[in-house]
Amino acid sequence: MNSKTKGILCIVTAAFCFAFMSLCVRLAGDLPSMQKILFRNLLAFFIVGAGLVRKPEKLEIHKGDLKFLFLRSICGTVGIVCNFYAIDHLVLSDANMLNKLSPFFTIIFSYFLLKERLTLFQGIAVVVAFMGALFIIKPTGNMTDPAALIGMLGGAGAGAAYSFVRVLGKRGVNGKLIVMFFSAFTCVFALPFLIGHFAPMKWWQVAAMIAAGFGGAGGQIFVTKAYFYAPAKEISVFDYSQIMFSALMGFLVLGQKPDMLSLCGYVIICTTAVCMYFYNKNRRTL
């Protein structure tokens, strides 16, 4: 098996893990979003930490890194809070599709943060992707589902977070340090909201959140492995398989069926992502 095939298998496995995480978050029931976030990220922190204990790596924070670590964590926290809210209130595949707008938001934020040139094709792709999002959000007159807008905001938060991850990567910050810092930040952020408001959990809710934590951690691990085996230009488009997994899990476990407008939105956004994939691939080989 060559490296590209391994990379594709890893990123598809990561997509399955993240879809499974979303399903478990939904199955945990009406727990406060902050409580779900605390469980999910606390487990991720210990899983990554256990990996570092087993195989130590040098983790250093240089001058100027802390600012970007906090900015990445703030944006990532906005992203995960909004995403978990959307998962609880939307069809599972709708919530994940809106979150998958993050690469298009990354293009916008990279223009401002990294001073990367925005090409005409990229600009058109962003506009078309947002048009696809309208099919999922379904604005009608003065009435728009707030959960859909919050889900889209989650995609924006994730897009900004990924932009700061790129900044940190260029500064040579270890990826595991970024994950641990973010996980610790979100846990500290969530704690004040739970003081006096912690909801008692039944055994199946604890089990669902533990499973969500393992799903999220598994997704992070396989994403890292995927980009170790192959460059993003060759495999990133396969990340959109998460929508297929989410739709299938939502149908089989929750009995959810995306409506025709949402399906049109999926097609528009995924087609735009595929076009961006080939555009970036051809551009880098010139």
Contacts of 252 (CB under 8 A, 6+ apart): none
Phi, psi of 149 (to 5 degrees): -65, -40
Q: What is the mean pLDDT of the chain?
A: 84
Please say if the pLDDT value at position 141 is more than 70.
no
What per-residue confidence (pLDDT) applies to 68? Answer: 92
- Mean pLDDT, to the nearest integer, of 29-34? 86
| Residue 260, token pair as written in the block | 């025709």
Q: What is the pLDDT of residues 142-176, one digit of tens each?
A: 556 788 889 999 999 988 888 888 788 778 888 78
d(C-alpha 226, C-alpha 245), whole Å: 18
Kindly report each contact of residues 192-197 with a partner whose C-beta sits within 8 Å and lies 24 or more positions away, as own/partner. 193/32, 193/34, 194/32, 194/34, 194/35, 194/38, 197/32
Measuring CA to CA, which residue among 137, 142, 117 is closest to residue 269?
137
Tell whether the torsion through CA atoms of 132, 137, 143 and 149 is positive or negative: negative
What per-residue confidence (pLDDT) applies to 11? Answer: 84
- Mean pLDDT, to the nearest integer, of 28-53? 85
- Mean pLDDT, to the nearest integer, of 77-99? 90
Please say if the pLDDT value at position 22 is more than 80.
yes
Please say if the pLDDT value at position 15 is more than 60.
yes
Higher pLDDT, 70 or 143: 70
Please say if the pLDDT value at position 71 is more than 90.
yes
Q: What is the pLDDT of residues 225-282, one digit of tens each?
A: 786 677 666 676 788 888 889 889 988 998 988 889 889 989 998 898 888 878 877 7
What per-residue confidence (pLDDT) applies to 144? Answer: 62
- Other C-beta atoms closer than 10 Å to the C-beta of 184 total 16
Please say if the pLDDT value at position 77 is more than 90.
yes
Please say if the pLDDT value at position 89 is more than 80.
yes
Q: How many residues does the chain have?
A: 286
Please say if the pLDDT value at position 189 is more than 90.
yes
- Mean pLDDT, to the nearest integer, of 76-103? 89
Contact 164, 113 (CB under 8 A): yes
The structure's pTM equals 0.84
Question: Rg of the Cα trace of the chain?
Answer: 18
Q: What is the pLDDT of residues 93-113, one digit of tens each?
A: 888 888 888 878 878 887 887
